[in-house]
Amino acid sequence: MKPSAHPKPTDRTHGWEHVVDAIGPRVRRLRLQLGLSLQQLAGRAEVSAAAIHKVERGEMVPTITTLLKLSAALERPVGFFIDDGTPDPVAVHRRWDERATPPADWASTLGGVSAESLAQPKGPLHAGVVAATLPPGGSGTAPTQRPGEEILLVDEGTLAVEIAGERYLVEAGDTLHYPTDRPRSWRNDGTETVRAIWWYVHD
């Protein structure tokens, strides 16, 4: 008897099983990268810590509602958590007219500052770049501290930067390299517009 041409039931499910299996590890990896405990993520997402723990361990498949809440809390699109078997491209090409607003983990408050994201962490890539223009009096404050580091390059003007209580005047051409697990803020106290670029990597 010739073998059946129809796949076995287990073969038919293989196409979606690996997609489901990828969700938990991606939630856990991103949570750790953001420096969040289970309880902190639970508070953000309004999902119980026990449920998140089960999702991360692969003991529970999240509902659509739960996945939407987790993706919002972790500031990633739902598609980030679903591996459909298509390999990610080696590089991310973002065209000049596709630049977006900076991610929420770059600055929590901005006063009179115009900024755009030149690159954002995606997949295995963990670095990001933000370009900003600060008119006189323009300022910004970073969000809750998290593991990682930033490099600031001032292209024009002078920017006053405070890192954990230490004050720095970063002039045109200067760079400032610092950890992101400390309170930090910046302000243009001069009379000229400041243009600056931030490179950041969050663990």
Q: At what angle do helices 49-56 and 64-73 cross, to 10 degrees?
A: 100
CATH class name, domain 9-81: mainly alpha
In the chain, which residues fall in CATH 1.10.260.40? 9-81
Give the sheet arrangement for strand 175-179, strand by strand.
Answer: 114-119, 127-134, 194-202, 148-156, 175-179
In the chain, which residues fall in CATH 2.60.120.10? 99-202
Q: Is 75 left (phi over 0), alpha (psi -120 to 50) or beta?
A: left
The pLDDT tens digits for 53-110 are: 999 988 888 999 999 999 889 888 888 887 655 566 678 777 888 778 887 778 888 8
Q: Which residues fall within 8 angstroms of residue 65, CB to CB, at 6 or more apart?
A: none
Entry pTM: 0.60
pLDDT band at 130 (very low <50, low <70, confident <90, very high): very high
User: Looking at domain 99-202, which CATH architecture does it have?
Assistant: Sandwich (2.60)
